[in-house]
Amino acid sequence: MARPIRLLIVDDEKRFVETLSKRLSARGIYVEGAHSGMDAVALVQARPFDVALLDVRMPGMDGLATLREIRKYQPLLQVIMLSGTASINAAVEGMRLGAVEYLLKPASLDDVLPKIEEAARRKLLMEEQQGPGRPTGI
Amino acid sequence: MRIQRFLRRLFGPNRWVPLAARPDAKAALYLQYLAFKDLISSNDEILQVIADMEQVLDGTTTFGMAFIRSRCVTAASHTYRMIQTLNTLSDRRYSELFLRFADIRRSVENILDRARPKLKGPLVLPLGSLSLAQLDLVGGKSANLGEMKSRAGLPVPEGFAVTTDACLELLEANQLGDEIRARLLGLDANDMESASAVSQSIRSLILGAALPPRIGGSLREGFSALESILGRPLRVAVRSSAVGEDGDLSFAGQYVSVLNVTEDALASAYKEVIAGLYTPTAIRYRAIRGIPDEDTPMGVACLAMVEAVASGVACSVDPNHPEAGRMVINGSWGLGLATVEGSVSPDSWTVRKGDDLAFLSLTLGSKETSAEPMAHGGIDTVPVPPRLRKSYCLTGDQARELARLILEVERHYGVPQEVEWALGRDGRFMLLQARPLHLCALGGGQEPAPAQVDGHRLLIEGASACAGFASGPAVLSLSPEDVHDFPLGGVLVARHSHPRYVQVMDRAAAIVTDVGAPTGHMASLSREFGIPAVLDTHGATSTIATGDIVTVDGSRGAVYEGRVDSLLGAKNTAVPRRMAGTPVFGILEEVSRHVVALTLTDPKSAEFRASSCKSFHDIARFVHEKAFEEMFRLSDTVSYGQMRSLPLRARLPFTVHVIDLGGGLLPEAGAREIGIEDVTSVPLKALLAGMTDPALNWWTPRALSVKGFASVTAQALFTPVVEHGERSLGDRSYAIAADAYCNFSSRIGYHFAAVDAYCADSMGGNYISFRFKGGAADEARRVNRCLLIGRVLNRVDFQVECHRDLVNARLRKFGREPTLERLALLGRLIVATRQLDMRLHDTAAVDWFVDAFFKGNYMFDPDFDPASVHEEA
Task: Output the DSSP codes for B614-632.
Answer: -SHHHHHHHHHHHHHHHHH
pLDDT at B556 over 60: yes
Q: Which residue of B19, B70, B84 is in closest CB contact with A86?
A: B70
Query: B717 falls in which pLDDT band (50, 70, 90)?
Result: very low
Q: Which residue of B76, B178, B182 is in closest CB contact with A91?
A: B76
User: Who has greater pLDDT, B617 or B55?
Assistant: B617
Secondary structure of B641-698 in HEC code, one letter for each residue: CCCEEEEEECCCCCEEEEEEEECCECCCCCCCCEEHHHECCHHHHHHHHHHCCHHHCC
Q: Determine the pLDDT at residue B582.
A: 76
Overall average pLDDT of the B393-412 stretch: 94
Asked if the Cβ–Cβ distance from A122 to B34 is below 8 Å, we say: yes
- Closest chain A residue to B23 measured between Cα atoms? A129
CB-CB neighbors (< 8 A) of A102 in chain B? 73-74, 77
| Closest among B501, B3, B603 to B252, alpha carbons compared | B501
Q: Determine the pLDDT at residue B715.
A: 38
Residue B325: other Cβ atoms inside 10 A: 12
Asked if the Cβ–Cβ distance from A88 to B186 is below 8 Å, we say: no
**Mean pLDDT of the residues in chain B:** 82
pLDDT at B315 over 90: yes
Query: B720 falls in which pLDDT band (50, 70, 90)?
Result: very low
Q: Determine the pLDDT at residue B436.
A: 84
Fold topology of B307-437: D-amino Acid Aminotransferase; Chain A, domain 1 (3.30.470)
Reduced to 3 states (helix: H, G, I; strand: E, B; else coil), residue B349 is strand
Task: Output the DSSP codes for B526-577.
Answer: HHHHT--EEE--S-HHHH--TT-EEEEETTTTEEEES--HHHHTT---SPP-
CA distances from B555 to B319, B327, B520, B548 (A): 11, 17, 17, 21
Does the beta carbon of A128 lie under 8 angstroms from any beta carbon of chain B? yes
Which sequence spans correspond to the domains of chain A? 6-127
Q: Minimum mean pLDDT among B358-367, B399-408, B660-669, B673-682: which range?
A: B660-669
Burial class (CB in 10 A: 0-12, 13-18, 19+), A73: middle
Reduced to 3 states (helix: H, G, I; strand: E, B; else coil), residue B464 is strand
Overall average pLDDT of the B375-388 stretch: 86
Q: Are B346 and B517 in contact (CB under 8 A)?
A: yes
pLDDT at A1 over 50: no
Residue type, B819: T
Chain B nearest-CA distance from A16, in A, is 14
Q: Are B823 and B757 in contact (CB under 8 A)?
A: yes
Top residue of B30, B183, B185 to mutate, by most chain A CBs within 10 Å, is B185
User: Who has greater pLDDT, B842 or B838?
Assistant: B842
Q: Which residue of A106, A121, A130 is in closest CB contact with B186?
A: A106
Q: CA angle at residue B301 from B297 to B306, to 5 degrees?
A: 155
Overall average pLDDT of the B296-322 stretch: 89
CB-CB neighbors (< 8 A) of B16 in chain A? 75-76, 126
Top residue of A64, A104, A111, A116 to mutate, by most chain B CBs within 10 Å, is A104
**pLDDT 10s digits, B765-786:** 688 989 888 766 677 788 888 8
The Cα–Cα gap between B83 and B95 comes to: 8
**Mean pLDDT of the residues in chain A:** 87
Region label for B499, one of left (φ > 0), alpha (ψ between -120 and 50) or beta (otherwise): alpha
Burial class (CB in 10 A: 0-12, 13-18, 19+), A2: exposed
Looking at chain B, the number of H-run helices and the number of E-run strands are 25, 31
Cis before B383 (ω within 30) = no
Q: H/E element holding B831?
A: helix B816-832
- Scanning B147-252, the segments in alpha helix (DSSP H) are 164-173, 176-184, 192-207, 213-230
The Cα–Cα gap between B255 and B277 comes to: 6
Which sequence spans correspond to the domains of chain B? 2-113+598-640, 115-305, 307-437, 452-563, 680-857
| Closest among B190, B130, B783 to B505, alpha carbons compared | B190
pLDDT at B168 over 60: yes
- Backbone dihedral angles phi then psi of residue B753, each to the nearest 5 degrees: -135, 135
Chain B nearest-CA distance from A87, in A, is 6
Residue type, A121: R
Chain B nearest-CA distance from A32, in A, is 23
Helix axes B2-10, B65-89, angle to 10 degrees: 140
pLDDT at B837 over 90: no
Q: Determine the pLDDT at residue B295.
A: 59
Q: Are B419 and B433 in contact (CB under 8 A)?
A: yes
Chain A nearest-CA distance from B80, in A, is 7
Does the beta carbon of A63 lie under 8 angstroms from any beta carbon of chain B? no
| Widest Cα–Cα separation across chain A | 42
Burial class (CB in 10 A: 0-12, 13-18, 19+), B459: buried
The Cα–Cα gap between A44 and A78 comes to: 12
Q: Tell me which CATH code domain A6-127 carries.
A: 3.40.50.2300
Q: pTM score, two decimals? A: 0.65
Q: Indicate if B521 belongs to the active site.
A: yes
| Chain centre distance of CA B830 | 33
Q: Does domain B452-563 bear CATH number 3.40.1110.10?
A: no
| Chain centre distance of CA B486 | 17
Q: Could you say which of B456, B496, B521, B594 is catalytic?
A: B521
Q: In chain B, pLDDT over 70 holds for what percent of residues?
A: 83
Asked if the Cβ–Cβ distance from B77 to A102 is below 8 Å, we say: yes
* Strands laid side by side in the A101-104 sheet: A30-34, A6-10, A51-54, A78-83, A101-104
The Cα–Cα gap between B850 and B848 comes to: 5
Overall average pLDDT of the B399-405 stretch: 95
CA distances from B257 to A110, A112, B569, B666, B729 (A): 41, 41, 43, 78, 71
Q: Are B438 and B524 in contact (CB under 8 A)?
A: yes
Query: B493 falls in which pLDDT band (50, 70, 90)?
Result: very high
Burial B762-801 (b: 16+ CB within 10 A, else e): ebbbbbbbbbbbbbbbeeebbbbbbbbbbbbbeebebebe
| Chain centre distance of CA B241 | 26
Burial class (CB in 10 A: 0-12, 13-18, 19+), B163: buried
**pLDDT 10s digits, B21-60:** 334 555 666 677 778 888 888 988 998 898 889 888 887 7
Q: Are B154 and B428 in contact (CB under 8 A)?
A: no
Residue B384: other Cβ atoms inside 10 A: 19
CATH H superfamily, domain B115-305: ATP-grasp fold, A domain (3.30.1490.20)
Q: Are B533 and B501 in contact (CB under 8 A)?
A: no
Q: Minimum mean pLDDT among A116-130, B572-586, B602-616, B744-758: which range?
A: B572-586
Q: Determine the pLDDT at residue B28.
A: 65
Supply the DSSP symbol for B441: S
Q: Determine the pLDDT at residue B868.
A: 66
pLDDT at B492 over 50: yes
Reduced to 3 states (helix: H, G, I; strand: E, B; else coil), residue B267 is helix
Q: Are B267 and B214 in contact (CB under 8 A)?
A: no
Residue B795's contacts (CB-CB under 8 Å, 6 or more residues apart) are B850, B854
Q: Are B61 and B187 in contact (CB under 8 A)?
A: no
